């Protein structure tokens, strides 16, 4: 595909769908929705001492949101809420022309084609927002 928005590495990330699905007994669940395009991401978390021990993401969304969810599925285990918030800020800064987040989240650099499309920034950020929403939900049984 010649469109710089949909580079081959992004398509691979979306196809790999690391962490896709739902957890059978999550501690917290969060959902983020982008009314502009209809993308929807639901996240289930299992937490231990305030850190992600288990994570599953269900995306009904575009390739950009699916690829972003796959990055989280691969690398968000062990992070706490403040680290996820810092990632959200860092990816937002990158999309606005800043530098790529550091490893293990340097894969977000593949979204550089989205920088020129501000309407697509939310698609990339939506899975991270869903994780933050899940962290902020009332604890049901931790």
The tens digit of pLDDT for each residue in 77-97 reads 999 999 999 999 999 999 999
**142 part of a folded domain:** no
**141 part of a folded domain:** no
Q: Examine the pLDDT at 142 and tell me if it is beyond 50.
A: no
Q: Taking the model in full, what pTM does it have?
A: 0.92
Per the structure, the complete domain to which residue 20 belongs is given by 4-136
Instruction: Give the pLDDT mean for 92-105.
Output: 96
Name 135's Cβ contacts closer than 8 Å, sequence gap at least 6: 28, 30, 45, 81, 84
The CATH number given to whatever domain includes residue 130 is 3.90.1010.10
Which helix (DSSP H) or strand (DSSP E) does residue 83 occupy? helix 81-95
**131 part of a folded domain:** yes
pLDDT attached to residue 1: 44
Helices 63-75 and 118-136 cross at an angle (nearest 10°) of 40
**83 part of a folded domain:** yes
Total domains, the chain: 1
Q: Average pLDDT of the chain?
A: 93
**53 part of a folded domain:** yes
């Amino acid at each position: 595909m010649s469109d710089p928005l949909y580079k081959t590495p992004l398509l691979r990330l979306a196809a790999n769908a690391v962490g896709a699905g739902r957890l059978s007994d999550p501690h917290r669940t969060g959902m983020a929705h982008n009314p502009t395009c209809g993308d929807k991401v639901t996240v289930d978390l299992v937490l231990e001492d305030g850190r992600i021990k288990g994570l599953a993401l269900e995306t009904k969304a575009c390739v950009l949101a699916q690829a972003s969810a796959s990055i989280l599925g691969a690398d968000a285990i062990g992070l706490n809420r403040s680290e996820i918030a810092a990632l959200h800020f860092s990816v937002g800064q990158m999309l606005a022309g800043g530098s790529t987040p550091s490893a293990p989240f340097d894969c977000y650099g593949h979204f550089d084609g989205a920088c020129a499309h501000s309407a697509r920034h939310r698609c990339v950020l939506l899975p991270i927002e869903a994780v933050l929403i899940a962290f902020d939900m009332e604890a049901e049984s931790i």
